[in-house]
Chain A
């Protein structure tokens, strides 16, 4: 989790990723941020987040993102 927060923070240093759970629904991160985040995640975790995984529910919180990565890693 710590590493994930670090990655997310590298894209947007001004957001409290640990506690925020409506990143998409409340428009806290926008499409540019999301592209950057997905790029970083794909690179660091060596996963391939595709169109099917790209939906709001998977990106509303760091928790959800972590769950997604763990599923993709399986």
Chain B
């Protein structure tokens, strides 16, 4: 029985040492090389922390193999890694570090030291290139790995938080092993699987690409970022590298569908499409199925807190008016629907919150209060302590017993495949001195975040520059609308409905 994800690498590196595991823009690495380089990094971390375990190690990531080496380096040291996109604004990285308070940050290239310098970081920063010169301390690595249990934290990911600060979701080895085993089995992923990695490496979606590849001794290509702007180049890349499996956010597939890219280049090896992040419109699915009538299409449903909960293998034709089910739970995961009285709903078409029993996240790091709300006691089990994960999504079962996603219970939205709390943007805008009041709405049809603000003067540009310093690109409002005075309702509250209707009307008259 596998109890930690390091064992996957140990086993595969012994079995197929010289097989290539990962490719990036300018390098490649075998399983054996990955194991040995990671052990060097692990030995360095063990030295610096003097054997302390289960603490966070931050990594300034990029789309490259070095990121993966540093992930495994941290795992070999008995700690958990926290990928932080190095392109994030300094302000946001600082906020993240405040919550995390790591003793170590790893950076991957000499240039990235510029970022480190701006962070006023008091701990130790490690340049990966130097760490790779460390001699492997086999004894300490072995005793460290021996002590690991499957509920130890493995990695943490920051997502948007409604209280104005980013939220740190902490995942255990067990959650990853769970998903890797189920995926390999159900979707028949093997040593023949060649992933095209699309999801950012600082994002939970890519965990599958990395660890399924290592478990099965397959291959994964980390597709260079620049290719995503140019569908033709991207498809040629998939074709040349004989990529057969895409585990991808719907937002990336949308680009290919919008440009009808497959009409020009059709990579011949593609045979499996696993998509997640948001619901795929049937129209888009039909486009892919037209070009790949025999491929496997799987609608994955999950969240950062439980990488994947449920899946639907597309097994019938859908009309554009229907929506794809999110299907059935993975083995070792149970779904229960609870109404607002915390009662279980069992009848067809009854809508309730999707709640989970299974290997979900350990909680939100350094945030006991939100953790207790989201990972609460199972209200229908009074006999013993059992935790459930409340997803905040509303769902129902259809007549086939398949789960259908209905909506969100809060103001969390999915934009370009990222999950965003509109509240976090609102809090930031409302703290700007020239803004009287502001709120956000999500235009789902256009996939746009629209920000309305009241201020004596129009200052769209200043506003956006301030936000750009605080938020990653995907959290920035796509449209900013200024009011000198918001219309009010009788009770003197801001008439958001009227403002929104005006926005929609203006769109139509354009």
Contact = CB atoms under 8 A, between A and B. Distances in A.
Genuine A/B complex: yes
Interface string A31-69: 111111000000000000011101110010000000000
A14 B465 contact: yes
A13 B464 contact: yes
Interface residues of A, number: 18
B460 A13 contact: yes
A55 B265 CA distance: 14
A24 interface: yes
B232 A51 contact: yes
Contact of A31 (B228, B232, B259): B228
B369 interface: no
Given A24-B226, A27-B226, A35-B255, A54 B231 contact: yes
Interface residues of B, number: 25
Contacts of B461: 13
Contact of B473 (A32, A50, A59): A32
A30 interface: yes
Nearest to B473: A32
B232 A55 contact: yes
B264 to A, nearest CB: 5
Q: Is the interface of A mostly helix, strand, loop or mixed?
A: loop
B61 to A, nearest CB: 16
B230 interface: yes
Contacts of A27: 225-226
A50 B229 CA distance: 12
B416 interface: yes
Nearest to A43: B510
Nearest to B463: A13
A13 B465 contact: yes
A13 B255 CA distance: 23
Contacts of B229: 24, 30-31, 34, 54, 56, 59
Contacts of B416: 32
A33 B260 CA distance: 19
B187 interface: no
A51 B473 contact: no
B468 interface: yes
Interface string B465-503: 100100001100010000000000000000000000000
B336 interface: no
B408 interface: no
Contacts of A33: 473
B478 A54 contact: no
A56 B230 contact: yes
Contacts of B465: 13-14
A55 B230 contact: yes
A39 B500 CA distance: 22
Contact of B478 (A14, A36, A51, A56): A36
A3 B239 CA distance: 39
Interface string B241-264: 000000000000001001111011
Nearest to A36: B478
B473 A30 contact: yes
Contacts of A35: 255, 258
Contacts of A31: 225, 228-229, 255
A61 B474 CA distance: 23
Contacts of B255: 31, 35
Contacts of A32: 416, 473-474
> Which of B225, B255, B464 has the most chain A CB atoms inside 10 A of its CB?
B255
A54 B229 CA distance: 8
Contacts of A13: 460-461, 464-465
B331 interface: no
Contacts of A55: 230, 232-233
Contacts of B228: 31
B259 A50 contact: yes
Nearest to B469: A14
Nearest to B233: A55
Nearest to A10: B479
A64 to B, nearest CB: 14
Contacts of B473: 30, 32-33
A51 B259 contact: yes
B394 to A, nearest CB: 28
A54 B464 contact: no
Nearest to A49: B259
B3 to A, nearest CB: 39
B261 A51 contact: yes
A31 to B, nearest CB: 4
A67 B225 CA distance: 26
26 contacts: A13-B460, A13-B461, A13-B464, A14-B464, A14-B468, A24-B226, A30-B229, A30-B473, A31-B228, A31-B229, A31-B255, A32-B474, A33-B473, A35-B255, A36-B478, A50-B260, A51-B231, A51-B232, A51-B259, A52-B264, A54-B229, A54-B231, A54-B232, A54-B259, A55-B230, A55-B233
Please provide the 7 A-B residue pairs with the shortest distance between their CB atoms, ordered closest to farther.
A31-B228, A31-B229, A34-B229, A51-B264, A51-B259, A51-B232, A13-B461
Given A31-B228, A34-B229, 17 more contacts: A13-B464, A14-B464, A27-B225, A27-B226, A30-B225, A30-B473, A31-B225, A31-B255, A32-B473, A32-B474, A36-B478, A50-B259, A54-B229, A54-B231, A54-B259, A55-B230, A56-B226
Interface of B: 225-226, 228-233, 255, 258-261, 263-265, 416, 460-461, 464-465, 468, 473-474, 478
